[in-house]
Amino acid sequence: QDTLAETWLSTFLWLFDVLRMFSFDANLAEASRPYSDDEDALNEVEVNGNWTPQEKALHEARLKAKAKRRLRKSSSRNSTSESFSESGDVPGGDPHSPKGKVNTNDRKSRAGKGRGLPKKGGAGGKGVWGAAGMVYEDEEPDARDPNYDESSQGDTVYATVVPEVDEKELEKMVNPIVQEYFEHGDTKEVEMLLKELNLGPHKYEFSSLAVSLSLEGKASHRELTSRLLSDLSGKLMSQSDMARAFDKMLKELPDLILDTPEAPQMLGQFIARAIADHVLPMSFLDCYKGKVDCEYARVALDRAAVLLTMKREMVRLDNVWGVGGGLRPVKHLVKEMNLLLKEYLVSGDVSEAERCLRDLEVPHFHHELVYEAVVMVLESKGDTASHMMIKLLQSFWKTGLITVDQMNRGFQRVYDELPEISLDVPHAHSIMETFVDLCYQESVITKQLRDACPSR
């Protein structure tokens, strides 16, 4: 019986150990599952009085581990809710919405460090006053400062900055000014245009360019250029600038003579006129004595010296270019045309008479030539003057030097003054009728003009 009892007892203890092991595994599985308040309550009240001290210690250690895990989970939940409340974000909300954005101006560190106080005690950073007791030095106001107050800075002066004209663009800008001046002849307008340009150190080149253009033009253009240099001297150009310009022209004569064969003589006349007008210093010619190697430059300087030593040059060489165009007085133009016709009656050279008429540069006044030619025919004796004048007028008509309007005006002036002319020339009417018929036969005048001739 004792043996049977011991057998049953050992079997019972073995079964107890097996059951205890199963319960231990079940407790471990429960510990690995998510924590539950009901399971925690059961574990807290689950105490088996039959457990050994080792089992009780193991059970208590397991409960402490569960408590630590619960504390960590609760602390993580609280920190997450605090971060959502601080940033204004709601879990599952739209991060692009205005409420979902993080407040970048918050002083509190988002790294979990610091106490959220300003850096450097408020002494640093953008837009702060600095530390207490800090002394600042006076600074000059900056116009680019957004806090710059123009009214507190005194009077503001605005200056127009004109860029300096490049040497390559100078000729393109000066040529139109000079060409227009040849048309209107107003030196004040040229002066105003030059003041608007910032020529800088190249302003002397304006004089040389103006002289170069006038050499290729007419005598009236050269006269206008001399007047322009005289008016600009002392205002925009100094004597040293003018001397520098003419010195450049003397060096460029080998190139200028290719287009203008008479360039040395003309430049010498320019120099003489400039010295007489006090545009160039009186010692300008003396600076070149024995120092000129170019033969063209020597010709120009010799021409200037001859003109300055002539007795008829008193104060100014006003007539070195003549007086061309409308600048001449009417009496002088009438005198020149009379002289032209008288020389033609002596020489009979039509081409020379045409050249002299073109040099006068008064196409609007050619009717005076027609008038003087017809009057000479009426006052002459014989038929020689009549045939020569018809030849001259026919040549001017064919070349277009005298237009229809100018021809009609000249003859009409004679028609109007014929009663007065007949007082000095009794046979003026008959001579006039004969001359008009010849002119019509040679196609010098129109039929209407012939029919308009008054009869006795």
In a domain, 187, yes or no: yes
Domain boundary among the residues 33, 56, 82 is at 82
Are both 290 and 361 inside the same structural domain? no
What's the pLDDT at 37?
Answer: 46
Same domain, 214 and 281: yes
Do residues 172 and 274 both lie within one domain?
A: yes
* C-alpha distance from residue 223 to each of 133, 187, 237, 277, 323 (Å): 80, 12, 18, 12, 7
Q: Quick one: pLDDT band at residue 363, thresholds 50, 70, 90? A: confident
C-alpha distance from residue 7 to each of 16, 17, 144, 290 (Å): 14, 15, 106, 156
Same domain, 174 and 301: yes
Does residue 182 lie within any of the structural domains?
Answer: yes
Boundary-marking domain end, from 309, 337, 366: 309
pLDDT exceeds 60 at position 230: yes
Mean pLDDT of 55-76: 80
Do residues 173 and 300 both lie within one domain?
yes
Task: Examine the domain organization and report whether 329 and 297 are in the same domain.
Answer: no
Rounded-to-integer distance, Cα 270 and Cα 303, Å: 10
The stretch 50-72 carries a mean pLDDT of 81
pLDDT recorded at residue 253:
92
**Residue 408 counted as domain residue:** yes
Statement to judge: residues 425 and 329 lie in one domain:
yes
pLDDT at res. 264: 92
- Both tokens of 443, joined, read 């196609």
Do residues 276 and 333 share a domain? Answer: no
Segment 204-228, tens digit of pLDDT: 889 999 999 999 888 888 888 998 9
CA 449/CA 456 separation, integer angstroms: 17
| pLDDT for residue 300 | 92
Pairwise CA distance, residues 169 & 179, whole Å: 16
| Number of CB atoms found within 10 A of residue 238's CB | 14
Q: How far apart are CA 411 and CA 318, in angstroms?
A: 35
Residue that is last in its domain, among 50, 66, 82: 82
Average pLDDT, the chain: 78
**Is the domain of 329 the same as that of 277?**
no
162-171, 235-244, 399-408: range with lowest mean pLDDT: 162-171
Give the pLDDT score at 412.
Answer: 93
| 362 and 433 part of one domain | yes
Domain count, the chain: 3
Please report whether residue 102 resides in a domain.
no
Cα(392)–Cα(408) distance, integer angstroms: 16
Q: What is the dihedral of CA 114, 116, 120, 126, to 10 degrees?
A: 130
| pLDDT in the model for residue 44 | 47
CA 308/CA 372 separation, integer angstroms: 37
Q: Which residues contact 316 (CB under 8 A, 6 or more apart)?
A: 273, 276, 277
Residue 273 sits in a domain whose CATH number is: 1.25.40.180
Length of the chain: 456
Instruction: Report whether pLDDT(396) > 50.
Output: yes
> Between helices 187-196 and 219-232, what is the axis angle to 10°?
60
**pLDDT given for residue 308 in this prediction:** 84
Residue 153: predicted pLDDT: 60
Contact 228, 221 (CB under 8 A): no
Tens digits of residue pLDDT in 423-446: 888 888 899 999 999 999 988 898
* 173 domain-assigned: yes
Between 91-95, 205-209, 299-303, the lowest mean confidence (pLDDT) is in 91-95
Over residues 322-331, the mean pLDDT reads 65
- Same domain, yes or no: 251 and 292: yes
pLDDT at 117: 62
Quote the CA–CA distance of 384 and 140 in Å, as a whole number. Answer: 95
The mean per-residue pLDDT over the stretch 254-261 comes to 90
Higher pLDDT, residue 327 or 236? 236
Residue with tokens 């018929």: 437
110 found inside a domain: no
C-beta atoms surrounding 232 within 10 Å: 22
pTM over 0.75: no
- Weakest mean pLDDT among 50-54, 282-286, 287-291, 379-383: 50-54
Tokens of 127: 């837009």
Specify the pLDDT at position 104.
55
Question: Token pair of 447, please?
Answer: 């039929």
Considering the chain, what percentage of its residues have pLDDT values greater than 90?
23
Residue 157 belongs to some domain of the structure: no
Q: Which amino acid belongs to residue 321?
A: W
Q: How confident is the model at residue 391, as a pLDDT?
A: 93
Domain span including residue 32 = 2-82
Assess if residue 251 is contained within a domain. Answer: yes
Residue 112 has a pLDDT of 57
Local confidence band at 41 (pLDDT 50, 70, 90 cut-offs): very low
CA distance 19 to 23: 6
Which residues lie closer than 8 Å to 103 by C-beta, 6 or more apart? Answer: 87, 88
- The DSSP-derived string for 85-119 is HHHT--TT--TTSGGGS--TT--S-TTS-S-SPPG
pLDDT level of residue 247 (50, 70, 90 thresholds): very high
Which is higher by pLDDT, 92 or 138? 138
Residue 3 has pLDDT above 80, yes or no: no
Asked if 229 and 272 sit in the same domain, the reply is: yes
Model pLDDT for residues 142-186, shown as the tens digit of each residue: 767 777 666 666 666 777 777 777 777 888 888 999 999 988 888
233 φ, ψ (degrees, to nearest 5): -65, 130
